[in-house]
């Protein structure tokens, strides 16, 4: 009897997840193993607890047929971390085109560092540039999110989709990979990001970019790393560079700006993700927190911080970071993204009439036109 109950529960769980991810139900004879792989890999990566699964299934029953509503997404974020919810949303979304347009030159998988035992893909970056350019172009560096555990520079929302937009705006666009937890914990992620930024500063001129006009942008965990590389001067100093090589920083819905404070206002699910990346050691958490590196004498660049409206933790910690920067006489402003999800505030950049995009371009132009 017990075995029968387990089988019934497993079938129900699978059915609910299929509904959540928008994957059509098929018989076992129809299943293509290659089509199954991303779904199975994603479930394994998310490592949902039994409590999470139970609550997700409850939401699925409650909102059946209304999975695209803001209310459902909001409720989902009470159960999952933003990164987990984003990963599920990516599977639900139809894949975009990965064909490089004729007016863009793409140099993919360019290795910026080598470490024994580390797959080269984690220490590589993709460079996109317009084929026709009147001269050296400003550079936008993008750092992907994923809870410091998943994500990749080639994902459309941090890769080609953004490259198309920024190339049209006259930028060289660079999407960066870095080593992930559990292979590394802090400071492994930021060591890689700093080395990538230093490499780009040294070599982007070979790809049509202007190293004297360099911006860094990040989403989610990538926002934390973008903020950290622009405030913790020791990381670039390891490569004989200072923070003045970065002209501006754009943060898309991050919350890791003060990790000890985040652990006090986050839920247990989110906190476990932070502990995996930054350990339980308070000194390590402080060292990984951008807000604790802010000082007036470091040449820290201006910041544009974009939290989404619905996330209390992101709003509070974004405000705390802004206030710390302003107190140190560093320009920093906040644009609260209304009506956005954790994923869409990133994926919508470059779309017509997108307000965060307008805020970003105003921020960039104000710096470049000085």
**Within the chain, which residue ranges are assigned CATH 3.40.50.1820?**
104-368
For residue 25, pLDDT over 60 is answered with: no
Residues 72-89: what's their mean pLDDT?
A: 73
Q: By C-alpha distance, which of 95, 55, 99, 112 is closest to 78?
A: 55
Reported pTM: 0.78
pLDDT digits (tens, 9 = 90+) for 176-209: 999 999 999 999 999 999 999 999 999 999 999 9
DSSP 293: G
* In this structure, CATH architecture of domain 104-368: 3-Layer(aba) Sandwich (3.40)
Find out whether the peptide bond into 187 is cis, omega within 30 degrees of 0: yes
Return the percentage of the chain with pLDDT > 90, whole number.
66
Return the percentage of the chain with pLDDT > 70, whole number.
81
Is the distance from CB of 279 to CB of 337 less than 8 angstroms? no
3-class SS at 67? coil
- Give the integer Cα–Cα distance in Å for 314 and 301: 21
**Which residue carries 């987990």 as its tokens?**
84
What local confidence, expressed as pLDDT, does residue 132 receive? Answer: 87
pLDDT digits (tens, 9 = 90+) for 253-262: 999 999 999 9
Tell me the CA distances in angstroms from 355 to 86, 166, 173, one per residue in order.
Answer: 21, 16, 21
Task: Give the ranges where 131-232 is alpha helix by DSSP (H).
Answer: 160-168, 188-203, 221-229
Secondary structure element (H or E) that encloses residue 357, with its range: helix 355-368
């Amino acid at each position: 009897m017990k075995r029968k109950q387990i089988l019934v529960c497993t079938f129900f769980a699978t059915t609910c997840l299929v509904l959540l991810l928008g994957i059509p139900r098929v018989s076992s004879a129809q299943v293509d193993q290659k089509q199954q792989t991303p779904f199975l890999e994603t479930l394994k990566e998310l490592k949902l607890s039994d409590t999470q699964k139970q609550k997700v299934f409850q939401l699925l029953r409650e909102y059946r047929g209304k999975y695209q509503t803001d209310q459902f997404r909001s409720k989902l974020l009470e159960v999952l971390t933003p990164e987990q919810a984003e990963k599920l949303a990516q599977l639900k979304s139809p894949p975009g085109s990965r064909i490089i347009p004729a007016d863009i030159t793409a140099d993919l998988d360019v290795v910026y560092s080598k470490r024994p035992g580390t797959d080269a893909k984690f220490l590589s970056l993709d460079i996109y540039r317009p084929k026709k350019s009147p001269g050296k172009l400003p550079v936008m560096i993008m750092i992907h999110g994923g809870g410091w555990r998943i994500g990749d520079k080639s994902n459309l929302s941090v890769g080609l989709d953004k490259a198309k937009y920024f190339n049209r705006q006259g930028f060289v666009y660079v999407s960066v990979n870095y080593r992930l937890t559990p292979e590394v914990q802090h400071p492994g992620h930021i060591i890689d990001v700093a080395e990538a930024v230093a490499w780009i500063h040294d070599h982007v001129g070979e790809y049509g970019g202007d190293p004297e006009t360099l911006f860094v942008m990040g989403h989610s965990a990538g926002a934390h790393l973008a903020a950290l590389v622009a405030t913790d001067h020791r990381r670039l100093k390891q490569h004989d560079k200072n923070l003045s090589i970065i002209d501006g920083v754009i943060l898309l819905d991050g919350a890791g700006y003060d990790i000890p404070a985040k652990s006090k206002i986050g839920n247990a699910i989110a906190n476990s993700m932070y502990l995996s990346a930054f350990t339980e050691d308070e000194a390590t958490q402080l060292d990984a927190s951008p807000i604790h590196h802010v000082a007036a004498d470091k040449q820290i660049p201006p910041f544009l911080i974009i939290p989404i409206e619905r996330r209390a933790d992101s709003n509070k910690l974004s405000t705390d970071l802004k206030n710390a920067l302003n107190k140190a006489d560093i320009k920093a402003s906040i644009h609260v993204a209304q009506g956005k999800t954790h994923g869409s505030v990133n994926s919508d950049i470059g779309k017509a009439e997108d307000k965060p995009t307008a805020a970003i371009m105003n921020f960039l132009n104000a710096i470049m036109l000085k």
